[in-house]
Amino acid sequence: MTQSRTHDCGQLRLADAGKRVTLAGWVENVREVGSNFGFVVLRDFYGTTQIVVETEEMMKAFRAMNKETTVSVTGVVRERESKNPRQATGEIEVVPESVAVLGKCRYNQLPFEINKSREADENARLKYRYLDLRNPEVKKNIVLRSNVVAALRSAMTAHGFLEITTPILTSSSPEGARDYLVPSRNHPGKFYALPQAPQQFKQLLMASGFDRYFQIAPCFRDEDARADRSPGEFYQLDMEMAFASQDDVFAVLEDVLPPVFARFGKYSRASAAPFRRIAYRDAMELYGSDKPDLRIDLTLCDITAEVQGCGFAPFEGAEVRAVAVPDFDQSRKFIDKLCADVEVQTGSKVCWFRTDETGALTGGVSKYLADRREALTRKLGLAPGAFVGMAAGKKTVAQKTAGVLRKLLGASVPGHMDAERYEFCWIVDFPMYEIGEESGQLEFCHNPFSMPQGGLEALEKQDPLEILAYQYDLVCNGVELSSGAVRNHEPEIMVKAFSLVGLGEDDVRAKFPAMYNAFCYGAPPHAGIAPGVDRMVMLIAGEESIREVIPFPMNKNAQDLMMGAPSAVDPKQLSDVHIAVVREE
């Protein structure tokens, strides 16, 4: 039996008429017109070709096949009478001389129709992902991913970066998320951890004398799923530069990313260098988010002073942020749904008022603010026909709630979002420390290995909550693509930075022995970043869910429905790695 093919199913054209060819692929559809006449659509990775059946014997052979059976068809190419301009091979058809079954589909009923798999239940798609991927619309995202990764590799190499792979089995490290642990067979009671990121290894490469490193790095974090985050594992364009500043990192990515987005993206427009830089505190004050979507032209406004003492209880003693929308002609039903959606996303309520044709305040909480009309009109730049949504509470609560309101208004009110472009920005000057929501204690705000602005002197003399870090995020269209930083490469500064969160020098030595010791041998200043590949491809493809651009994604509960993972294992396997499972009653 031969499985050779002379052409693929997307290749034949009118110029090939008269040729004897062999195609191989999946039977997508069989349409019988009579006992000895019908049409078969044959599909492979490259496209589809119509097979026209003109004998009873050949019709009988195809009739016996279930859809998705793989076959080899040998026949002659001829011009089609009824051409299909929407199909690349739509000017020709193949008249078969012979057909051979290469792989029989043994099921009469498929879990879903292949070409409509994206309409199927997500769990069914994930369980039968190998069928889902046969859908050309699903497959094209995986092809896109491959092309994007190839372009990124090429661009990084052209910028003098060396691709180096780092270990998958390593030690557990406090990087902000839960580790995936791997028990050791040869060292009872001890565990490896899958890397949350190659953070320490890439810094060690800088200390080892490598100048520019990158890799398409697999990372593992035991986190819950979101639309823009896959649980379990993800990939990032990890990079680090020796003798480099924040500006050096920015210059590389501002040169690498826009051409990739413009070449492969759903939208042809992407930000040109230099990307806009926004301080973290300014981003929160203007947009209510540290990952603002700059395609939206609305901003937040602090109206705390203007509304104090108005008699509306939620405003009293609270910070109040407003979003004003001019020429607002939406219904009350729209407003009610908007307020409900914000509350679902934030857990906080928003309130509102409008201005009528005379500029007077009306609707919502306007009765409390009537005597503040002039001040609010001046502060918010109000004109007749405007809408103002407001959020109140602690500063961060008011900002974040108003930020969600801004985003929903921008996406749903016509004229306030230039959606068909990629808008990048840098969020810079993050706080070095914050008070943890759960612990109530001082914690690192972002990466603990970031260099504090002002160095050792800042750590010794400033209020920790006022210290800024050389920490930066890359944001595109409201999605955080990456966090990066200028690294803390001085042991004394590192020890002092960790001491503020309750970890002494012995703790630093114990938790980061390789990096601490390497830095004691003279490390260069270095900086890096790691944009998420999955998120980049999601944006480039214009998809809402990251699972659409991952070949074999897990579901929202971190389960691989196709492979049945996670799964129970044989007791002997547990015994070999000195593990006993204690089940909760």
Give me the helix-helix angle, 246-264 and 136-158, nearest 10°.
140
Identify the band that residue 1 occupies on the pLDDT scale cut at 50, 70 and 90.
very low
Question: For the segment 314-364, what is each residue's pLDDT rounded down to a tens digit?
Answer: 999 999 999 999 999 999 999 999 999 999 999 999 999 999 999 999 999
Cα 442 to chain centroid, rounded: 29
Q: Is the pLDDT of residue 401 over 80?
A: yes
Rounded Cα–Cα distance for residues 335 and 337 (Å): 5
**What does the block give as tokens for 235?**
């990939």
Residue 66 per-residue DSSP state: P
Tell me the fold of 132-270+525-585. Answer: BirA Bifunctional Protein; domain 2 (3.30.930)
If phi over 0 gives left and psi between -120 and 50 gives alpha, with beta otherwise, what is residue 309?
Answer: left
Phi, psi of 106 (to 5 degrees): -95, 5
Q: Is the pLDDT of residue 232 over 50?
A: yes
Rounded Cα–Cα distance for residues 228 and 119 (Å): 20
Question: For the segment 271-286, what is each residue's pLDDT rounded down to a tens digit?
Answer: 999 999 999 999 999 9
Q: Which helix (H) or strand (E) holds 150?
A: helix 136-158
Give the start-to-end residue ranges of the domains of the chain: 14-103, 132-270+525-585, 296-412
Are the C-beta atoms of 475 and 424 separated by less than 8 Å?
A: yes
- Residue 22: what residue type? T
Mean pLDDT calculated for residue range 250-263: 95
Mean pLDDT calculated for residue range 73-85: 95
**What does the block give as tokens for 569?**
């294992």
Helix, strand, coil percent values for the chain (each to nearest 5): 35, 25, 40
What pTM, to 2 d.p., does this model score? Answer: 0.91
Residue 547 per-residue DSSP state: G
Are the C-beta atoms of 126 and 177 separated by less than 8 Å?
A: no
Question: For the segment 496-552, what is each residue's pLDDT rounded down to a tens digit?
Answer: 999 999 999 999 998 889 999 999 999 999 999 999 999 999 999 999 999 999 999
**What does the block give as tokens for 176?**
């902000």
Looking at the chain, the whole-number percentage of residues with pLDDT higher than 90 is 89
Identify the band that residue 65 occupies on the pLDDT scale cut at 50, 70 and 90.
very high
- Superfamily of domain 14-103 in the CATH hierarchy: Nucleic acid-binding proteins (2.40.50.140)
Lowest mean pLDDT among 228-232, 398-402, 480-484: 228-232
Q: Is the pLDDT of residue 173 over 80?
A: no
In this prediction, residue 539 carries a pLDDT of 96
3-class DSSP assignment, residue 466: helix
CATH value of 296-412 in 3.30.1360.30, 3.40.50.880, 3.10.450.710, 3.40.50.720: 3.30.1360.30
Identify the band that residue 175 occupies on the pLDDT scale cut at 50, 70 and 90.
low
In this prediction, residue 174 carries a pLDDT of 61
Domains 132-270+525-585 and 296-412 share a fold: no
